[in-house]
Amino acid sequence: MPKPMKVIQLGNLILRRRAESLGSVDMCSKKTRTLVRRMLATIKAQQAVGLAAPQVGAPVRIIIIASRPTAAYPDAPKVEPIVMMNPFIIARSHSENEGWEGCASIPGIRGRVLRNDFMKVRFFNAAGRPDETELEGFLARIFQHEFDHLEATVFTDRAIPASFMTEREYQKMMKSEPKRKK
């Protein structure tokens, strides 16, 4: 198993710089494959549901969606990790929903963010081949959160101002809410 990477924290200028596109040769390079494997290890170590390359110090357009139930998101759907290189939004819903978000680059803080319910996305997959997918609900939320990192935006820029709370208070709230039926 590859070694997890250190997650860049808010204040580091890399999080405020737009990520660069990967060329077709770069997508299939050993360096990129190693970066993706280490990002996957980092997601697991952080118990995250997604990660963007700038968060681990690589200013390139790679995101990974790795949804599964966690303490922070107990109702999250379980999906195999989706590696997206040079993702591009081709359609989005007009409908939006508000939901809680946190970020490995801003530990200890949660906030409510309004996101589109649906996204249609084109990207290059882990093999460097063109791909396309439709994401809705929580998966669309993860995508938008990670895509924002590629655009030099963090969730606190989009969060509803009075919604912030600490991770500890968020966990207390999650434990006190009645379990939702699946």
Query: Residue 159 and residue 112: Cα distance in Å, rounded?
Result: 5
Residue 159's region, left for phi above 0, alpha for psi from -120 to 50, else beta, is beta
20 as an active site residue: the answer is no
Query: Residue 99 and residue 119: Cα distance in Å, rounded?
Result: 16
Helical spans, DSSP H, in the chain: 24-27, 30-46, 138-150, 155-158, 167-176
Residue whose tokens read 């009075």: 162
Contact 63, 149 (CB under 8 A): yes
Per annotation, catalytic residue among 146, 167, 169, 177: 146
Query: Residue 169 and residue 182: Cα distance in Å, rounded?
Result: 25
Query: Residue 176 and residue 49: Cα distance in Å, rounded?
Result: 22
Question: Helix, strand, coil proportions of the chain in percent (round to 5)?
Answer: 30, 30, 35
Active site residues: 146
